[in-house]
Amino acid sequence: MTEIIVGALQLAFTDGIGANIANVSRMVREAAARGAQVVLPPELFEGEYFCRVEDEGLFANARPVGQHRAVLAMQALAAELKIHIPTSFFEADGPHHYNSLAMIGPDGKVAGVYRKSHIPDGPGYEEKFYFRPGNTGFKVWEGPAASTLGVGVCWDQWYPETARAMMLMGAEILFYPTAIGSEPHDDSLDTARLWRRAMVGHAVSNVVPVVAANRIGTEGGKDGHGQTFYGTSFITDERGDILAELGREEEGVITATLDLARVKRHRAAFGFFRDRRPELYGRLVEDI
């Protein structure tokens, strides 16, 4: 079998982890009922996107992978539904904190943890206050039908190096859980179309399907640091054509069927990997 079905979720979140887990679980079940074998929730779905502000009290919400409520809940759900659930969570590892993702397989076990490599720092996205840069390197995992899944987290999705590195590790589908919306420093800046174009570009230049899941809703208005998240989650095929998408305020589940044998043929025919010249790319790994 070369076809697999992938899904992505889009919804709003509150500061109640129990309610958020329940809503994500409900939507994971809906995606699985549509046949999805890999279901992607948004980034840090355990709560509101807390990186809008710097608050040392929020470090108390981080947990090790084996103790985090969101991870434990998705483990039970993955085992019940026999699906893969890439699960974003706020990780504590001793004195260190990471923006991490647990790849949960259909046996309910965590196949591994990826720690977000690129950490943003700017108005409304003050992640460097909370997270160390990931120390795992990029990761890929075995998926359904002997596929290979690659996952980058939010800011990672803007970097062509992230996508290409995972492709060179054998990735056949790229997944990007996200929390992105308004830019508090510039009300006129709407990055929604840029956000999508960046990932569609990865799809085209690597001849690979891409799945992106974002949140919606306005968070934090009462504290003067409000942000509105613009959704527009999507699934694209290896040619960059949109197979499924959601609007800016739309809660929902999207799914799409991917034929990985066809993707493999198309990737070989384009010759991007045949014609690479790594001996010319040394400048890419040098400091500016």
Residues 145-168: what's their mean pLDDT?
97
For residue 225, pLDDT over 70 is answered with no
Instruction: Kindly state the tokens that stand for 17.
Output: 């982890």
Which of the following is catalytic: 48, 127, 139, 154? Answer: 154
Q: Is the pLDDT of residue 200 over 90?
A: yes
pLDDT in tens, 4-18: 999 999 999 999 999
Is 80 tagged catalytic?
Answer: no
> Which tokens go with 125?
């996205």
> Length of the chain in residues, anyone?
288
Verdict on whether the full-model pTM lies above 0.85:
yes
- pLDDT, residue 185, reads 87
What are 241-279's pLDDT values in tens digits? 999 999 999 999 999 999 999 999 999 999 999 999 999
Does position 1 have pLDDT exceeding 90, yes or no? no
pLDDT at 222 over 80: no
51 is catalytic: no
The Cβ of residue 104 has, within 10 Å, a number of other Cβ atoms equal to 25
In this predicted structure, what is the pLDDT of residue 186? Answer: 87
Q: What is the pLDDT of residues 90-126, one digit of tens each?
A: 999 999 999 999 999 999 999 999 999 999 999 999 9
Which of 213, 166, 288 has its CA nearest to residue 40?
Answer: 213
Mean pLDDT of 177-203: 95
What percent of the chain is modeled with pLDDT above 70?
Answer: 98
**Residue 220: what pLDDT?**
84
**Exposure string for 39-74, b = 16+ CB within 10 A, e = fewer:** bbbbbbbbbbbbbbeeeeebeebbbebeebebbbbb
Euclidean distance between CA atoms 229 and 173, whole angstroms: 25
Instruction: Indicate whether 223 pLDDT > 90.
Output: no
Rounded alpha-carbon distances, angstroms, from residue 147 to 16, 17, 115, 284: 35, 32, 22, 29
Rounded to whole angstroms, the Cα distance separating 176 from 268 reads 24
Dist. CA 103–CA 80, nearest whole Å: 16
Contact 218, 228 (CB under 8 A): yes
Catalytic residue among 43, 46, 48, 219: 43
CA dihedral 154, 141, 39, 215 (to 10 degrees): -10
pLDDT at 22 over 70: yes
How does the average pLDDT of the chain come out, rounded?
A: 96
Place of tokens 């043929």: 265
Average pLDDT over residues 193-205: 98
Catalytic residue among 51, 91, 116, 238: 116
Per the listing, tokens 């990055």 go with 191
- Packing angle between helix 192-206 and helix 160-168, nearest 10 degrees? 30
Q: What one-character-per-residue DSSP string does the chain give?
A: --EEEEEEEE----S-HHHHHHHHHHHHHHHHHTT-SEEEPPTTTTSS-GGGS--GGGGGG-B-GGG-HHHHHHHHHHHHHT-BEEEEEEEEETTEEEEEEEEE-TTS-EEEEEE-S---EETTEEGGGT-PPPSS---EEE-GGG-EEEE--GGGGG-HHHHHHHHHTT-SEEEEE---B--TT-TT---HHHHHHHHHHHHHHHT--EEEE--EEEE-GGGT--EEEE---EEE-TTS-EEEE--SS--EEEEEEEEHHHHHHHHHHH-TTTT--GGG-GGGGS--
Mean pLDDT of 182-186: 89
